[in-house]
Structure 1
Amino acid sequence: MVANVNPTVRRRRLGSELRKLREQKGMTAEEVAARLLVSQSKISRLENGRRSISQRDVRDLCGVYGVEDVRIVDSLMQMAKESRQQGWWHAFGDIPYSVYIGLETEAASLRVFEPQVVPGLLQTRGYAAAMIAGNLPEATPEQVEKRVNVRVRRQDRITDEDAPLRMWAVIDEAALCRKVGDAQVMREQLAHLVELSHLPHVTVQVLPFEAGAHPGLSGQFAVLEFTDATDATVVYLEGVNSDLYLEKDTDVQAYSVMYEHLRAQALSAEQTRLFIEEAALRYAP
């Protein structure tokens, strides 16, 4: 087994390479699907990294595209093998947002806007437990605990000494006003938020109510960027039953512009710390 292999990222890279081969051949996804007697949606999902790719899939696609260079085929086959390995998150069982976790684990930077709650990577265990339990009222204590453990494990990216995640968080004032858990949980969470904001690779900005209407009124979103130039920037939109991942240049550009407007309307990093400390006073014993 190859060490430090991220199956989510491997699928994306492999899918991108297969898409390039199809385009070089001048074929549409529908034409490829017809040749292989599979659905067009399967080809699309293979190319966008949303479906596991087997070595047989790679072999069949290389045959359709007329790839004769053995080195190219072997390289793609190896990527397919690695893409079927399990990431650390699989040890926790079925996690509905495992694709996102895979992307977050590999990302070099993350820009996130949260209109309702503190971003997951910046949450304390107590806050995370209270939020997850409130968001999933029918979940068992064991299910809540599993999700909390996954969230805490994800936070290793923030404290990674070798390659910490560069994070920029714009948080609506509503997240500071919404009492998640009891007063002590909120005090600890807000103090933790201020503490993390002092890290050189973490920037936190609060968007106050007085800022009025802003581009983030449509909801939460995150923009993930990667070191490897072959990995396209991804915009992540969290849904109730399914999530949305946008990679088109026009979509990424639109959300990047939105984020710049949010940053401009939000308080500065220093103003934010003072604002959070003042907000914490409402939860004083």
Structure 2
Amino acid sequence: MAISPTLRRRHLSSLLREAREKRGLTAKWVAEKAKERSGRERGWSESKLNRLESGVWKRVRAEDITVLLDIYGITAPDERATYLTLVREAMQKGWWASYSDVLGTGEFVGLEAEASRIRTFESAAIPGLLQTEDYARALMRDSEQIGSSASLDRRVQARMLRQQILNQSSPPDFHTVIDESVLLRITPELAGQLDHLWEASHRPHTDIRILPLSRGPHAAMTGQFVILDFPLPNQPVVYLEALAEEIYLDKPEEIDRYQRIYEYLRDQALSPEDSRDLIHTLRLSLNEKRHD
């Protein structure tokens, strides 16, 4: 499984926050002690420590982490090595760094790259990991963020590269519930997307379920979401995407809420076999229209 600098950064930040809170220390006190120890008047502040603990940083120095470990009394060589290894790995760059012009920080892609299980509910579009190039291009073409054909091409390329995680030797378990309305909006010109979805439904690590319109109102009508699970000791993350921002939820109560919503949707959806049959019926119908 690929190393994700994004996940390493989040894990390092979580460990630093837990280490301070476990000892009952305030961020202000720790920052003052760090300033004394490092001898750099402008090097430390409460806001800097808050950024380190929340993962809102682009670069981190091993010497800064060493100062914090000393303050927290973390002296065991193995434990200190764990922190410093995370520092080194957090500073690596994933493939998405070269697509920062269209992916921004690439935080979601970085987390997705190391997830052991991905659960998603989609109410408006086919999941990105299952989109064909033509379908992805059609979705992105009218986006206000697209300023040129070159930008559109790079966004589509990045989406196709994301899909490589499903083809690796140990792919994540991918589970998705897709609202039936998503399938009904696919035009004959994009019928290949239904062919691709039907083929994907046969993959051993993929579970595709369609939520039929006949089920009526449901708990997730406000929009799609993604639950990312990781190998221990990393905690799950819920990802919500709005037009202008990305939201990450990692509090236990938030994760539990979305897990319960997903299980409800999964139970309301058609079985994988019935979902496959529905996809097959729709793909045959679209292919007939395409050839008329």
TM over 0.5: yes
| C-alpha distance in structure 2 between counterparts of 1:97 and 1:127, whole Å | 24
Q: From 65, 78, 84, give the equivalent of 2:72.
A: 65
Which structure 2 residues correspond to residues 117-128 of structure 1 after superposition, within 5 A?
Answer: 117-128=125-136
Corresponding residue SS for 2:121: strand
Pairing 1:79-98 to 2, within 5 Å after superposition: 79-94=86-101, 95-96=103-104, 98=106
For residues 273 and 135 of structure 1, what CA distance do their matches in structure 2 show? 31
1:87–1:234: structure 2 CA closer, same or farther, 3 Å change rule?
A: same
Among 154, 165, 175, the residue aligned to 1:157: 165
Kindly state the Cα deviation for residue 70 of structure 1 after the two structures are TM-superposed: 4.9
d(CA) in 2 for partners of 1:92, 1:54: 25
* Contact 1:54/1:84 (<8 A) preserved: no
1:8 — aligned with what? Answer: 6
SS of the aligned residue for 2:195 comes to: helix
Say which SS state the counterpart of residue 135 (structure 1) adopts. Answer: coil
Secondary structure of residue in 2 paired with 1:231: coil
Residue deviations 1:186-207 (CA, integer Å, cap 9, x gap): x100110011001111011111
| Letter aligned with residue 52 of structure 2 | L
In structure 2, which of residues 201, 208, 215 is the aligned counterpart of residue 204 of structure 1? 208
Q: CA RMSD in A?
A: 2.2
Distance 2:242 2:27 in 1: 27
The answer (yes or no) to whether the contact 1:115–1:172 under 8 Å persists in 2 is yes
Aligned to 1:114: 122
Select which of 92, 99, 112 maps to 2:107.
99
Runs (5+) with no aligned partner, structure 1: none
Aligned to 1:183, which of 183, 188, 192? 188
8 A contact 1:54–1:81 mirrored in 2: no
Q: Is the 8 A contact 2:97 2:105 kept in 1?
A: no
The one-letter code of the counterpart of 1:219 is: G
User: C-alpha distance in 2, partners of 1:249/1:50?
Assistant: 20
The answer on 1:166 being equivalent to 2:173 is yes
Deviation at 1:178, TM superposition (A): 2.0
**2:113 match: secondary structure:** helix
The CA distance in 2 between the partners of 1:275 and 1:136, in whole Å, is 33
Match of 1:250 in 2: 253
1:240 is aligned to: 243
Aligned-partner Cα distance in 1 for 2:104–2:185: 25
The alpha carbon displacement at 1:77 in A equals 2.5
Name the TM-score, length of structure 2 as normaliser.
0.87
Stretches (4+) displaced over 6 A: none
| CA distance 1:62–1:47, change in 2 (3 Å) | same
* Cα pair distance change 1:44/1:221, threshold 3 Å: farther
* Cα distance change of structure 1 residues 267 and 216 upon mapping to structure 2, 3 Å threshold: same
Distance in structure 2 (CA, Å) of the matches to 1:44 and 1:175? 41
Residue 134 of structure 1 and its aligned partner are, at CA, apart by 2.4
Retained in 2: the 8 A contact 1:33–1:43?
A: yes
The secondary structure found in structure 1 opposite 2:165 is: helix
Q: 1:34 to 1:240 in 2, by over 3 A?
A: farther
CA deviations over 1:111-154 (Å, ceiling 9, x no partner): 00010000000000111111111234643111111111111111
Query: 1:221 & 1:28 partners in 2: Cα distance?
Result: 34
Q: Which residue of 1 aligns with 2:272?
A: 269
Separation in 2, partners of 1:122, 1:89: 18
In structure 1, distance between residues paired with 2:210 and 2:202: 15
Over 3 Å counting, the alpha-carbon distance change for 1:97 and 1:195 in structure 2 is farther
In structure 2, the gaps of 5 or more residues are 36-43
Match of 1:46 in 2: 52
Q: Contact between 2:28 and 2:45, CA under 8 Å: does it hold in 1?
A: no
Q: 1:11·1:50 contact (CA, 8 Å) conserved in 2?
A: no
The amino acid of 2:226's aligned partner reads A
How much has 1:66 moved relative to structure 2? 3.5
1:173–1:207 contact (8 Å) kept in structure 2: yes
